[in-house]
Structure 1
Amino acid sequence: MSQHPIPTNALDAQAIARPVYLLPGWLNSDPDHWQSAWQRLHGDTRVEQNDWEWPRRGDWMARLDEVLQHDARLRERPALLVAHSLGCQLVAAWAAHSAHTARVQGALLVAPPDTERDDTPPQLHNWRPIRRPRLPFASIVVASSDDPFCSPERAAGMAADWGAEFVLAGPLGHVNAASGLGDWPEGRALLKRLAA
């Protein structure tokens, strides 16, 4: 992990003066994942799901809606969502159905998986079809050129449907702990753009 002469959370407070919610994907984000690093460094809030192993789309959507409804800060200062993998599909599905999307200013959607592929694990079959309505808030999709769970072309198609900016980040695998990103400052810079 990179060292900073000024505490990272102090720098972050100046740049992102609004709540940040982390939405991990299937099986949650492990301690070496950049989302876990952001939680430690910046105080971002992880949305905990009841079942990480057999994720039901409706249950995950209800949990996100509940968390955002009960954060009184969001009435005046909408949140930023930071989703990884299945968390990206959660944002798309939630935004298509929720009456509380005004509580979100923007979403960073990293490594969205293609849950419509033939080799999708059975635990994720209820995440079909992918929800593709345009998102009602600013968003950036970050994809890897060699993600084993989604081709760059499919990721670009999702970004286009969602009305999101598309960033192809190069060969980073599934943009997770195995990608060796540490606290991933490049991703944080994208989030700061959404906060502006």
Structure 2
Amino acid sequence: MSMHFLTVPGLASSGPQHWQTIWEQQYPHLFSRVQQENWDWPVKEDWVRQLDKQISELTGPTVLVGHSLGCITIAHWAQEHSSLNIKGALLVAPADAEMSKRLNFVVGFTPIPVKPFEFKTVVVASTNDIYATIGRSKTFAENWGSDFVNVGKKGHINAVSGLEDWKEGKAILESLSGLKFAE
């Protein structure tokens, strides 16, 4: 049974220049994306319900690939649900919803869960992310029982960061999933 990846984007989803989208296009047989009804007005219950629905439809081992508010969605999912198909999660630039100036905008995402995940996780964070300090990201990793990778000054580790297909992230995902991506 081969490994599959389910990308879990954050606010506004991930556009054409985002590494999540690029990876999905590079490996369409390996990657699928959570499809939220409203990407622009995130409501935790809706986002977690949709993630749970897509996880319940999985047929084999899967690693979640979260970005930003997608990471927090995964954390909330893991509080209330579980699946034997979920083998791990790559949690990139988790957005600190508790520190957001737009708290009313991220309905229900706070407080951020502190319960450890039941599967292997890696938190990847940047030292100059405007949506979470490196200290907060490290705290998330400690709370969740995640490995922690500091990638230096990469902003929010998104399309604006200019990472294109983000080989460093791919290497982290390879070590987490045990799958080697063909170049």
- Relative to the length of structure 1, the TM-score reads 0.86
1:88 to 65, 71, 92: 71
- State whether residues 107 and 138 of structure 1, in contact with CA within 8 Å, keep that contact through their aligned partners in structure 2: yes
**Superposed displacement of residue 123, structure 1:** 1.2
Determine the structure 2 residue equivalent to 1:39: 24
1:62 to 49, 56, 74: 49
CA distance in 2, matches of 1:193, 1:136: 18
CA distance in 2, matches of 1:144, 1:118: 17
Correspondences of 1:1-196 after superposition (within 5 Å): 17-43=2-28, 44-71=31-58, 73-74=59-60, 78-98=61-81, 100-117=82-99, 119-196=101-178
101-110 vs 137-146, which moves further? 101-110
* Cα-Cα RMSD: 1.3
- Work out the percentage of aligned pairs sharing the same amino acid: 38
Q: Unmatched 5+ residue regions in structure 2? A: 179-183
Partner secondary structure for residue 46 of structure 2: helix
- State whether residues 31 and 37 of structure 1, in contact with CA within 8 Å, keep that contact through their aligned partners in structure 2: yes
Partner secondary structure for residue 149 of structure 2: strand
Partner secondary structure for residue 99 of structure 2: coil
Q: Unmatched 5+ residue regions in structure 1? A: 1-15
Partner secondary structure for residue 187 of structure 1: helix
- Relative to the length of structure 2, the TM-score reads 0.92
Q: List 4+ stretches of structure 1 deviating above 2 A.
A: none
CA distance in 2, matches of 1:158, 1:125: 19
111-120 vs 146-155, which moves further? 111-120
Change (3 A) 1:107 1:118: closer
Give the residue type in structure 2 aligned to 1:94.
W
Determine the structure 2 residue equivalent to 1:4: none
Partner secondary structure for residue 174 of structure 2: helix
Count of aligned positions: 176
Give the residue type in structure 1 aligned to 2:112.
I
- State whether residues 44 and 107 of structure 2, in contact with CA within 8 Å, keep that contact through their aligned partners in structure 1: no
CA distance in 2, matches of 1:141, 1:118: 19
Partner secondary structure for residue 154 of structure 1: helix
Give the residue type in structure 2 aligned to 1:46.
R
Partner secondary structure for residue 54 of structure 1: coil
Give the residue type in structure 2 aligned to 1:89.
I
CA distance in 2, matches of 1:103, 1:188: 21
Give the residue type in structure 2 aligned to 1:32.
Q
Give the residue type in structure 2 aligned to 1:18.
M
